[in-house]
Structure 1
Amino acid sequence: MQEARATYAHAYRVKHLGEQADAWYQASRLTEYLAAVRDHATSLPPGQEQTEVEAWLVFADAHLHHLTESVSAPKHKRRKSGNTAADRRLPKPAIRRMPVAPPPLT
């Protein structure tokens, strides 16, 4: 029984690790995409199209925030940032808080 619990706990952690990596990848892709759209919006002439793109960006930023609000980075010493554009653009790794132990076997 002890071995079955250990196997179950391992599989549970591996599954959540994959989900965490997927969430981080999606947030990274969206962040890059929104930066490109934002750059494009600055080149648009003032008018309805620019206003619509800016309104869409407000929605998209809120959606990205919603995707990442329930995640936190792992606890470790932060590296000193050079405060480069890349540092500001890429989101922190999206790590969902995982329970200390997997749910009980049923």
Structure 2
Amino acid sequence: MPTTRHPINRPPHARITPEAIALFRRALAIEACDDQSFWEEDGGSRREYLDVVDQLYRALGLQAFDLSPLACEGAPPAWEINPKLWRKAAQLRRALIDAAALNG
């Protein structure tokens, strides 16, 4: 018998896992050394950083249009087109920092 129900395509909520925490820590470590700006042949870690960010997006279940929790901190700036996405990324960043602190 046919149904009249229609599936609702809701994006999944970000899930903070030990893998996501480790990837977040690794990305912050690369940023702390400012190695994300230079390719490996120039003494940096840009390829590794891009790979870690990609894996972090996947681990958190983020969409391509979501802002990175690595780049958003605090209140959204005046120039931000979508402050809602900024706040979501900033909340996720705070949750990752808190989770990383709890896990040593």
Q: TM-score, normalised by structure 1?
A: 0.37
Of Structure 1 and Structure 2, the greater helix share is in 1
Larger Cα-atom Rg: 1
